[in-house]
Amino acid sequence: MLSSKKKIEPYLMALLASRIGSISVQMNNIMVKSARSSVMALARDCSTAICDGKGDVLVFPSGFPVHVGGTSLSGHTLLEIHGHHLRRGDAYLNNSPYHGNTHAADHTILVPVFYENELMFICICRGHQADIGNSIPTTYHTKARDVYEEGALIFPCVKVQDNYEDIQDIIQMCRMRIRVPDVWYGDYLAMIGAARIGEQELTKLITKYGKET
């Protein structure tokens, strides 16, 4: 958080903005190179962004505008639902259009970044899935009349990791319902891994320049 008593030189502001942007790009590259589905690995139907501790978007240098333009909605939803319970090592899955997500086929991973017990950033990775367990084997359900028909599994910012460990009940639910469980899990790991790298790099940045900066 910025202290009103601390002056930041323009060059440092530019340096920090560039560095945070490059971290988001790094997250996106990791996600694309690690994803298992052709939707994410080849078509690159995925995006990353970094929000501040209030859920407002700081950077979204790479990805689809429709993905990243509304990422602050997901950040705000995370804080509204879990704000008092967020902990270091948590990760959340959101694909609910009524909770700040685009549509059910876009799974969004949100990782809170803490420094000295203060929420500083939220790393966001969003990727289109090969299947989400709906009534037909596709995520482009043109005849769906509502969100329930489009997506069989809707997660409104549900915790999927606690203390850096998967919550197996949620993972098993997805694997049982989704037609390509290994593909889905591979993409899930790609998004989680990218967000965790973002968490590590942002923590290094705060350690170097101080959280007041």
- Write down the pLDDT at residue 2: 45
With pLDDT > 90 as the criterion, what percentage of the chain qualifies? 73
Q: How far is CA 207 from CA 26, 142, 212, in A?
A: 19, 48, 11
Record the tokens describing residue 193, joined without a space.
């891994």
Record the tokens describing residue 213, joined without a space.
């900066």
Identify the helix (H) or strand (E) that includes residue 136: none
pLDDT at 89 over 80: yes
pLDDT at 1 over 80: no
Flag whether the pTM goes above 0.75.
Answer: yes
Where residue 195 falls among pLDDT bands split at 50, 70, 90?
A: very high
- Write down the pLDDT at residue 166: 98
Using the Cα atoms of residue 157, residue 163, residue 164 and residue 170 in order, give the sign of their dihedral: negative
